[in-house]
Every structure is written in structure tokens, then in C-alpha cells.
């Protein structure tokens, strides 16, 4: 995850959990909605786990094919309710339990307003396929685009996996990563293959060169 985006997300989470009196004063439910969208492998599910760990919230993976009200009764305070791949939840028109209006009522209604602080997280690979009614503030307050790995993102991964802040190969990797679409998961996978920084970084360079060659071939 981009370091600046991470800082902004942490600030937003801190503001939310410290704002109980504000929500009570203005008469709003103490909840906040987050939409994580972007290609597969960009860290959406990992970010959900990191948020829950940071806040020490319980995580509930919701299945829209079940009764949402009954599901919510089983959740406690300081909960993070997660619906992954929300765009796929409405693919089956034959399933009358999974309706947009039912989900909107779940977000807006009494059941989502009761209890202490709750966070609702949707993830999707295709934000453009979601109904605009689902995305408005008050339902999904924060939209985070989880994109392909940036150079800053790579440097964070290199520090985490290899304890590297600088390396002679960083310049070549920067040029490649600005041209090639590689997910953070792909970059991390290469860095985990060896504890030797030279070997791991050379492996990443090979991956990026191979992807660039493949993309060039497809475009031609």
C-alpha cells in the first residue's frame, strides 16, 4: 500500500473511533463505510485484516445470501462487517434474498444504527459495475483505489522483507515499475524467494522484464 495512502487511512480510522460524542450529538449512527476497489492481488483483503488488527475490532465476513438482520444480531460492538466482491453479489437475479434495496436498507436502517462503533467494508474489482446509490457518502464514506505497485510501495515491501532502504538495483527497478503493471502480491512474492537482497531483486527485475515483454507482445 502506498505509504501516503496508509497514513491518510490511519488518520481517518483514528478520527472515527475518537468521535463517539460527535456522532451522538448530531444524531448519526456511529458507523463508517469503506470501499476498497482495484485489480485482484492489490491487497484489498490484506488491508481489511490490517485495519481490524490496528483497531482491535472483530471481523465478520457477511454472506448476502443469508438474512442480513439475523447476521447483524450475531455481531458485537467494535465490529468490522466485510462484504468481499460486492459486485458479484448481485449477479444472480434469481436469488431474491440478494437485492440492492435490501442491502441499502441494511446499511441505512435501524439494525446498522444500533450498538457501538461499526465499520462496514466492501471490496470490489469493478467499482464501475456498482450502483451509484451504494457509493454515496453515508454509505461508503471513503473510497480507496488499490492500484498496481508503485515505487514507494516497492520500497515499503523491500524494507519489510529484505530490511533494505537503498540498493544499487533500486534505480532499474524504479524505471521498470513505472512502466509495468505488477501487483503488490507479485512483487512481494518475488522478494520472499530469497533472503539474499541481490538474488531477490534480480528475480524481481526478471519478473518485470518478462511482464513488459508479454505486454508488448499482446499490444502488437
pLDDT at 95: 53
Residue segments in the chain with a per-residue pLDDT below the cut of 50 = 93, 96-97, 110-111
Instruction: Report the CATH superfamily, name and number, of domain 3-145.
Output: P-loop containing nucleotide triphosphate hydrolases (3.40.50.300)
At 54 the three-state DSSP class reads helix
List C-alpha distances in Å: 34 to 118, 122, 140, 201, 216.
Answer: 11, 6, 5, 34, 36
With a CB cutoff of 8 Å and minimum separation 6, the contacts of 129 are: 87
From the list 127, 131, 166, 160, the residue with the least C-alpha distance to 38 is 127
d(CA 89, CA 93): 10
In the chain, domain spans = 3-145, 151-214
pTM beyond 0.95: the answer is: no
Per DSSP, the three-state class of 129 is helix
> 3-class DSSP state for residue 125?
coil
How many other β-carbons are positioned within 10 Å of the β-carbon of residue 101? 8
Longest dimension (CA), the chain: 60
pLDDT of the residue at 96 = 46
8 A C-beta contact, residue 83 and residue 62:
yes
Residues 114, 119, 124, 128, CA torsion sign? positive
Q: Which residues, listed in sequence order, are joined to residue 143 by a DSSP beta bridge? A: 35
Amino acid at each position: 500500500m502506498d505509504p501516503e495512502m496508509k497514513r491518510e487511512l490511519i488518520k481517518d480510522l483514528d478520527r472515527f473511533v475518537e468521535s463517539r460524542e460527535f456522532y451522538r450529538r448530531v444524531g448519526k449512527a456511529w458507523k463508517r463505510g469503506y470501499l476498497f476497489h482495484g485489480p485482484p492481488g492489490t491487497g484489498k483483503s490484506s488491508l481489511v485484516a490490517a485495519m481490524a488488527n490496528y483497531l482491535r475490532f472483530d471481523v465478520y465476513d457477511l454472506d448476502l445470501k443469508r438474512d442480513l438482520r439475523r447476521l447483524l444480531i450475531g455481531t458485537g460492538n467494535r465490529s468490522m462487517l466485510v462484504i468481499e466482491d460486492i459486485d458479484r453479489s448481485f449477479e444472480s437475479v434469481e436469488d431474491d434474498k440478494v437485492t440492492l434495496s435490501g442491502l441499502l436498507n441494511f446499511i441505512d436502517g435501524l439494525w446498522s444504527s444500533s450498538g457501538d462503533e461499526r465499520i462496514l467494508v466492501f471490496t470490489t474489482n469493478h467499482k464501475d459495475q456498482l450502483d451509484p446509490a451504494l457509493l454515496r457518502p453515508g454509505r461508503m464514506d471513503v473510497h480507496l483505489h488499490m492500484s498496481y505497485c508503485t515505487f514507494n510501495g516497492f520500497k515499503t515491501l523491500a524494507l519489510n522483507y529484505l530490511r533494505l532502504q537503498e540498493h544499487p538495483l533500486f534505480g532499474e527497478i524504479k524505471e521498470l515499475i513505472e512502466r509495468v503493471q505488477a501487483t503488490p502480491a507479485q512483487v512481494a512474492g518475488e522478494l520472499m524467494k530469497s533472503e539474499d537482497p541481490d538474488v531477490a531483486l534480480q528475480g524481481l527485475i526478471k519478473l518485470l522484464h518478462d511482464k513488459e515483454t508479454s505486454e508488448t507482445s499482446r499490444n502488437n
